[in-house]
Amino acid sequence: MNECMNIYELIQKELDGELTPEEMELLDKHCSHCFTCQEIRQDFYQTIYGLRNLPELEPGEQLIETIMNTIYSKSPAQKSIPSKSFTGIVAGLVLFCSSGIFLLGSVLISLIAGGLLYLGYENSSLGFIENIVYWLTYGYNLLSVFKNVFNNPYSSLFLVTVLLLSMVSFAILIMLLYSRRIINYENV
């Protein structure tokens, strides 16, 4: 066992071409009768061989162009920056508005759905269609309750703040994901 640990060191040294002839002889001799070390040695060979033969990767012609343009003709590169930030602002606004609509919509839907589900229990004696009609009226009534909330200046202020905050964080989240390429619109 202890010998095998020394042999492991020798295998590692062999991979770096640092073995003396005596050590090489020792290694060969051990591996001829120890299957475990022989296998480890073989696996190491394969790993190194695989690494060495990984293909060199091609970045594409546009890399040189971009670099040369950035370095030697500063003006076109600078022109593209405002346009980029402009699209950023527009995208941000669109996201802000759409997330607002989305959040408002989901609040309303959950409110109505909540009411409907609750009433489904209460009126189980009703027939199926009657039930649906009943639920819908109840949902409508619930909406008018919701309207009353807005008559109170404090609660409406609170609601608007919560809505705005979630809109902003939603927009920021999407922008963040996009900028870190978690979402890649160009590939879609």
Site residues (CB under 8 A) for other proteins? 12, 15-16, 40, 43-44, 46-48, 50-60, 63-64, 66-68, 70-72, 180-182, 184
Q: Write down the least CB distance from residue 48 to other proteins, Å.
A: 6
The one of Zn ion, other proteins, none whose footprint includes residue 47, by CB under 5 to 8 A per kind, is other proteins
Q: Is 4 in the site for Zn ion (CB under 5 A)?
A: yes
Report the residue number, 37 or 112, with the smaller CB distance to Zn ion: 37
For Zn ion, the binding residue among 19, 34, 103, 159 (CB under 5 A) is: 34
Tokens representing residue 121 in the block? 């229990």
SS (H, E, C) the chain: CHHHHHHHHHHHHHHCCCCCHHHHHHHHHHHHHCHHHHHHHHHHHHHHHHHHCCCCCCCCCHHHHHHHHHHHCHHHHHHHHHHHHHHHHHHHHHHHHHHHHHHHHHHHHHHHHHHHHHHHHHCCCCCHHHHHHHHHHHHHHHHHHHHHHHHCHHHHHHHHHHHHHHHHHHHHHHHHHHHCCCCCHHHC
Long-range interactions of 108-111: CB distance < 8 A, separation 24+: 108/143, 111/139, 111/142, 111/143, 111/146
Report the residue number, 30 or 138, with the smaller CB distance to Zn ion: 30
Report the residue number, 4 or 90, with the smaller CB distance to Zn ion: 4
The one of other proteins, Zn ion, none whose footprint includes residue 34, by CB under 5 to 8 A per kind, is Zn ion
* CB within 8 Å of 168: residues ≥ 6 apart: 96
Q: Write down the least CB distance from residue 184 to other proteins, Å.
A: 8
Report the residue number, 4 or 101, with the smaller CB distance to Zn ion: 4
Q: Is 95 in the site for Zn ion (CB under 5 A)?
A: no
Report the residue number, 31 or 171, with the smaller CB distance to Zn ion: 31
The one of Zn ion, other proteins, none whose footprint includes residue 64, by CB under 5 to 8 A per kind, is other proteins
Q: Is 163 in the site for Zn ion (CB under 5 A)?
A: no
Q: Write down the least CB distance from residue 170 to other proteins, Å.
A: 18
